Amino acid sequence: MIESTAAVELDGITKTFGPVRAVDGLDLRINPGEVVAFLGPNGAGKTTTIDMLLGLSHPTSGTVKVFGGDARRAVALGRVSAVMQTGGLLKDFTVRETVELTASLFRPARSVDEVLERAGIADVADRLVGKASGGQQQRLRFALALVPDPDLLILDEPTTGMDVQGRRDFWDAIRTDAARGRTTVFATHYLEEADAYADRIVLVRRGRVVADGTAAEIKSLAAGRTVRATLRAPDVEAITTVPGVDSVDVRGDSVIVHGSDSDAVARYLLNHTDARDLEVTSRNLEDAFMALTGDPEPEGAHA
């Protein structure tokens, strides 16, 4: 599917709830076929943004475009569908009846059997939804989102409650469809999911985009290495003067130095102090996440 129109175009959107600024001037363009993770701490504004993408609420200011037009229309046409965190299932229907009911709302819809198969719940199709496990119910929500065969799939913490196999099957299905051109946006708290399955990570904090790039790019934004060594009573001020050092922490008999030039730090510690047991580590995505979304605001983190 080749399309020059953006799948999603958010232009300076804000959303306020009384005194709360849930979204605070967010710009985002997502191209067709991209798999984008929306990552951020609790209360960052992810769900509020997703609601606006689905036309469930309107921005206080700014514009939301989905495939160049109104979000609600895109949903009504079956071009966009979503798997939300909770809700929306009727317990007295079977799994199959639930999918059939949703399929009856869309023409043309994917076949019910195919959808059950893709979501990994064909074997529990005749079970009442109320008797299905939490993970199976989450797979059912995923199945329902696949029914209209959407061009844009929006997932709000889609794998909550799924076991390891469930997660793996889920992401395999997502990646297979992405390879055929489906755009996917997912909000998650699982850094490893964003790292493993997204082409691009958009990191949000307090309703704004603070970083936007591949997992490797995000990690390098919080670049630098940590040197840890055993050293009694280190001269913190002297270590701070080593080029590239941005923090020095003392914990018991250990000193932990973070900076852009770990070689210079190691050389200094070995040549000028009694430091021993040196360990050099790079930051992982979790460190980058903490550095970019924590307080105080890191320098140069704004995209």
Ligand X SMILES: Nc1ncnc2c1ncn2[C@@H]1O[C@H](COP(=O)(O)OP(=O)(O)OP(=O)(O)O)[C@@H](O)[C@H]1O
User: Would you tell me which residues interact with ligand X (CB under 6 A)?
Assistant: 17, 20, 22, 40, 42-48
- The least distance separating ligand X from the CB of residue 302, rounded to whole angstroms, comes to 18
Element holding 212 (H helix, E strand):
strand 208-213
Q: What is the CA radius of gyration of the chain?
A: 23
Separation CA 258–CA 280 (nearest Å): 10
Task: For the CB of residue 40, give the shortest distance to ligand X in the complex, in Å.
Answer: 5
Q: Residue 295, Cα to own-chain centre: how many angstroms? A: 20
State in angstroms the smallest separation of the CB of 188 from ligand X.
Answer: 9
Closer residue to ligand X (CB): 53 or 103:
53
CB of 189 vs ligand X, minimal distance in Å: 6
Which residues sit opposite 64 in a β-bridge? Answer: 10
CA 77 to chain centre: 26
| Residue 105 · residue 43 · CB < 8 Å | no
Looking at residue 57, what DSSP letter applies? S
Neighbours of 7 (CB within 10 A): 26
Q: How many CB atoms lie within 10 A of CB 271?
A: 8
Q: Which is nearer to ligand X, 38 or 268 (CB)?
A: 38
Q: Which is nearer to ligand X, 15 or 182 (CB)?
A: 15
Q: In the complex with ligand X, which residue's Cβ is closer, 26 or 266? A: 26
Contacts with 138 (C-beta within 8 Å, 6 or more apart), sequence order: 83, 158, 159, 160, 161, 162, 166
Angle at alpha carbon of residue 80, lines to 74 and 86, rounded to 5°: 125
